[in-house]
Amino acid sequence: MLSKLFTKKFLGIDIGTSSVKIAEIEKSGDSFSLSNYGYIDFKSVEGVSSPLSKKAITALSSDEIVEVIQAVLSEAKIKTRECAFSIADFLTFFTAFSLPQMTEKELSEAVMFEARQHIPLPMDSVTVDWQKVGQQNGESKKVEITVEAIPNEIIAQYKEIAQKANLQIILMEAEAFGLAQVLIGKDEERPVCLVDIGFQSTVCSLVHKNILRYSHSFDRGQNYLMREFFKSLPIDRQTARRFEEKYGLEFIAFAEPEIKDNVGNILRDSMSPILKEIEMAINDFGHCLGADIGKIIISGGVVAVPEVKGQFDSYFQKKVEIADPFKEIKYPPAIEAEIKSMAPMYAVAVGMARRAFEFKNRPK
């Protein structure tokens, strides 16, 4: 009973372009455990006249998003209200640059001046957060800076959503920070590439010594991959479309033998543009940092399909891991199989809940 007095719970809320995922994480002492979780995927909702099943989440009004969140909380019987929101990376701006050594006051002014050159919006329309991440050695030592900017209208919308859903926001930030929190160990020395394949877009983030150094998003994700994959199948378009909507890439598991034999080639061609874009980001990062990545960690619901990881393995010839945000989190053994299957999909939500704990423990 006494231990209950020293436990704390936070929600991690991942608002994606086709779904909402919520993870409730509890901390007691130094141990984390999964208290609850919930998920709504609009594509899986059949026979619903509500626009919630027809539109991408970014096209929904605040009231509609509130309705979705409340439905997840109600279905999962989640009572916790303190939360951390992830913001889709394509709605934020992230950049990194170097500046000469100077006083803190001078540095703050220089960062804002330099940030103007990288952020394609008026500075008074965004909220900027920056930090020093390291120092370059050489004849003229420079300070490395990372900058994240979130449009004020996005912040206002999330605050409105939280208020209407009776939630208390602890923090909100780009989803890449949540991924880095739970997927990369504190003792990882080599750079790591995090690849999150969302429904509409893919985010490639490079992390070195637990610091996000580079983030790049592009408009090809699970939706594009499935569309291209089913377009290439030796079946009529109407049947392919039906399989795509009903099963997604899970169709591979029960496809006809003649189709299974060709899956590798079909999937390779479908994934090629995504893999090439990731390769460009990795090369760009390696050139700037002067170091090669040690491994790639992939997340997003589609990576639960074994053949997707296989394509990463063969293309990059590097160590590739499927995201496991639950590796340091306790959960009942009875749900282990379910946890393993859903882990890549919940990486952002779990990461944001963990970020809430870290944020609350920062020195004031």
In three-state form (DSSP H/G/I as H, E/B as E, the rest C), the secondary structure along 318-356 is CEEEECCCCCCEECCHHHHHHHHHHHHHHHHHHHHHHHH
Which residue is it, tokens 């063969």?
314
The reported pLDDT for the residue numbered 352 is: 96
- Answer with the one of 103, 131, 148 that is the final residue of a domain: 148
Residues 199 and 298 occupy one common structural domain: yes
Residues 200 and 342 occupy one common structural domain: yes
Residues 125 and 135 occupy one common structural domain: yes
Q: Rounded to an integer, what distance in angstroms lies between the CA atom of residue 237 and that of residue 280?
A: 33
Residue 241 covered by a domain: no
Residues 169 and 213 occupy one common structural domain: yes
Residues 186 and 305 occupy one common structural domain: yes
Residue 254 covered by a domain: no
Residues 51 and 18 occupy one common structural domain: yes
Q: In what order do the strands lie in the sheet with 142-151?
A: 93-100, 142-151, 126-136
The reported pLDDT for the residue numbered 3 is: 44
Quickly state the pLDDT bin for 253 (edges 50, 70, 90).
Answer: low
Residue 252 covered by a domain: no
Q: Rounded to an integer, what distance in angstroms lies between the CA atom of residue 135 and that of residue 113?
A: 20
CATH code of residue 105: 3.30.1490.300
Average pLDDT over residues 201-228: 86
Residues 126 and 187 occupy one common structural domain: no
Residue 345 covered by a domain: yes
Average pLDDT over residues 149-161: 93
Quickly state the pLDDT bin for 246 (edges 50, 70, 90).
Answer: low
The reported pLDDT for the residue numbered 239 is: 64
CA-nearest of 325, 197, 315 to 249 is 197
Its pTM surpasses 0.75: yes
Residues 202 and 97 occupy one common structural domain: no
pLDDT tens-place string over residues 289-325: 677 888 999 999 888 887 889 899 999 989 999 999 9
> How high is the mean pLDDT of the chain?
83
Alpha helices in 290-305 (DSSP H): none
CATH code of residue 70: 3.30.420.40
pLDDT tens-place string over residues 77-118: 999 999 999 998 888 888 888 888 888 888 889 989 998 888
Burial class (CB in 10 A: 0-12, 13-18, 19+), 107: middle
Quickly state the pLDDT bin for 67 (edges 50, 70, 90).
Answer: confident
Residue 348 covered by a domain: yes
Residue 128 covered by a domain: yes
Q: How many residues does the chain have?
A: 364
349 has a pLDDT exceeding 50: yes
Instruction: Tell me the residue range of the domain where 351 lies.
Output: 2-91+151-223+269-360
pLDDT tens-place string over residues 326-344: 999 999 999 999 998 899 9
- Answer with the one of 109, 128, 148 that is the final residue of a domain: 148
Residues 18 and 144 occupy one common structural domain: no
Residue 307 covered by a domain: yes
The reported pLDDT for the residue numbered 1 is: 40
Residues 103 and 176 occupy one common structural domain: no
Counted domains in the chain: 2
363 has a pLDDT exceeding 70: no
Residues 61 and 120 occupy one common structural domain: no
Which of 46-50, 142-146, 159-163, 258-262 is predicted most confidently? 159-163
Residues 50 and 103 occupy one common structural domain: no
Quickly state the pLDDT bin for 356 (edges 50, 70, 90).
Answer: very high
Average pLDDT over residues 347-364: 86
The reported pLDDT for the residue numbered 258 is: 61
Residue 310 covered by a domain: yes
- Answer with the one of 148, 168, 191 that is the final residue of a domain: 148
The reported pLDDT for the residue numbered 53 is: 42
